Amino acid sequence: MPRPIEALIHPDALTHNLARARECALGARVWAVVKANAYGHGIERVFDALRAADGFALLDLAEAERVRALGWRGPVLLLEGCFEPRDLELCSRLNLWHTVHRDAQIDWLAAHKTQQAHRVFLKLNSGMNRLGFTPDVFRAAWTRLNALPQVDEISLMTHFSDADGAGGVQAQVAAFERVVDGLPGERTLANSAALLRHAAATAADWVRPGIMVYGGAPDHPGHNAAHWQLRPTMTLRSQLIAVQQLNVGDTVGYGSTFVADRPLRIGVVACGYADGYPRHAASGTPVLVDGVRTQTVGRVSMDMITVDLTPVPRAAAGSDVTLWGRGPHGALLPIDEVAHAAGTVGYELMCALAARVPVHVA
């Protein structure tokens, strides 16, 4: 008998969330961002549900090959472009559109022998200081690219650092508009947070939603997924494998960090950090037992966590436990809440789902 833990992927929610992205996109075409193996969901598992996307954006070349192997003939964009010159051969063979964010990538293109001219997305560093040409050299890069026979169409791209928070997008949008003014080509600016919070200010030809497609609120805890009408696309569920009765003063787990201040029934769940549950989730992290909301007590260990059974007195070994996602009887536990209790973001929990957890498409 395998451990009772499993993850479920919900295609109906993926399709719904993608439709939400399209609603927000003001007519722009929508890349479904499927990097990091579709934010931990599995590219092959999400593909059918996301077929209504206009393109798939990712960054591993092997993942681009997987999208093509699924039969997708539409646009595929490499968000970080090529990592070495021979990547261009794959771009030619699989007709991948690719980001150009530094000079070496232009050098490689200039030396690339191809019958098929490439579509590239020239990236402006409008303030995030991660990838892209700074405003002072952006136009020179555009001119170089435009002179290459290897390049067909040049699109223009930037990425926001603060679309989810108080910083907003205004300064970066202004920088982008200033630099690309008068240049031909399609534009793409918005990630999920920009789409949900600044759709009009970031309107362009393409949008690039990631986390919202997977039901995460990019600006949690300011807003939650329900506020943005997003549905969870991943459930992590398990069962109780033991129950303990604690007396006042009894402790739980490694380091004895939790001390019972009253008689307490606790359940032991077959899920730990080796499954991708965050070790830094403090006592008090929400969890559902038989669809009833309760909380963790004590430290997360490799294979187990412990939970307070006070609100679910009938829970016993074998009871259903929802770590995040959809619980029984319509109960929901947003992944963002669990992430928040662990000092991280839903993105990280999705991506960190461990290989040992069996995943099923619901």
Catalytic positions are 35, 254
In the complex with ligand PLP, the residue whose CB is nearer, 39 or 273, is 39
Phi, psi of 195 (to 5 degrees): -65, -40
- In contact, 312 and 292? CB cutoff 8 Å: yes
Alpha-carbon distances of 17 from 158, 213, 231, 234, rounded to whole Å: 23, 5, 7, 12
The residue among 4, 3, 5, 1 whose CA lies nearest residue 353 is 5
As measured in angstroms, the least distance from the Cβ of 79 to ligand PLP is 5
The residue among 85, 63, 87, 88 whose CA lies nearest residue 76 is 63
As measured in angstroms, the least distance from the Cβ of 254 to ligand PLP is 34
In the complex with ligand PLP, the residue whose CB is nearer, 150 or 188, is 188
The residue among 129, 48, 139, 56 whose CA lies nearest residue 94 is 56
Q: Which of residues 23-42 bind ligand PLP (CB under 6 A)?
A: 33
d(CA 285, CA 307) in angstroms, rounded, equals 9
Q: Is 79 in the site for ligand PLP (CB under 6 A)?
A: yes
- The count of chain residues that interact with ligand PLP, using the rule CB under 6 A, is 11
As measured in angstroms, the least distance from the Cβ of 126 to ligand PLP is 12
- Tell me which stretch binds ligand PLP (CB under 6 A): 187-195, 197-205, 288-296, 309-317: 187-195
On the CB side of 241, CA atoms within 13 Å amount to 15
In the complex with ligand PLP, the residue whose CB is nearer, 24 or 309, is 24
Window 190-229: contact mask with ligand PLP (x via CB under 6 A): -xxx--------------xxxx------x-----------
As measured in angstroms, the least distance from the Cβ of 210 to ligand PLP is 2
* Element of type H or E holding 175: helix 170-180
In the complex with ligand PLP, the residue whose CB is nearer, 130 or 356, is 130
In the complex with ligand PLP, the residue whose CB is nearer, 169 or 240, is 169
Q: Which long-range contacts (CB under 8 A, 24 or more apart) does 334-337 make?
A: 334/215, 334/217, 334/220, 334/224, 334/225, 334/226, 334/232, 335/215, 335/216, 335/232, 335/234, 336/216, 336/217, 336/220, 336/221, 336/224, 336/225, 337/220, 337/224, 337/286
- In contact, 225 and 231? CB cutoff 8 Å: yes
CA 240 to chain centre: 29
- In contact, 38 and 63? CB cutoff 8 Å: no
Phi, psi of 320 (to 5 degrees): -75, 135
> Which residue has the CB atom at the shortest distance from ligand PLP?
210
Q: Which of residues 242-281 bind ligand PLP (CB under 6 A)?
A: none
As measured in angstroms, the least distance from the Cβ of 357 to ligand PLP is 22
- Tell me which stretch binds ligand PLP (CB under 6 A): 84-92, 114-122, 143-151, 185-193: 185-193
The residue among 85, 90, 86 whose CA lies nearest residue 107 is 85
As measured in angstroms, the least distance from the Cβ of 191 to ligand PLP is 3
Q: Which of residues 298-327 bind ligand PLP (CB under 6 A)?
A: none
In the complex with ligand PLP, the residue whose CB is nearer, 210 or 215, is 210
As measured in angstroms, the least distance from the Cβ of 99 to ligand PLP is 8
Q: Which of residues 115-174 bind ligand PLP (CB under 6 A)?
A: 159
In the complex with ligand PLP, the residue whose CB is nearer, 246 or 349, is 349
Q: Which residues bind ligand PLP (CB under 6 A)?
A: 33, 79, 159, 191-193, 208-211, 218
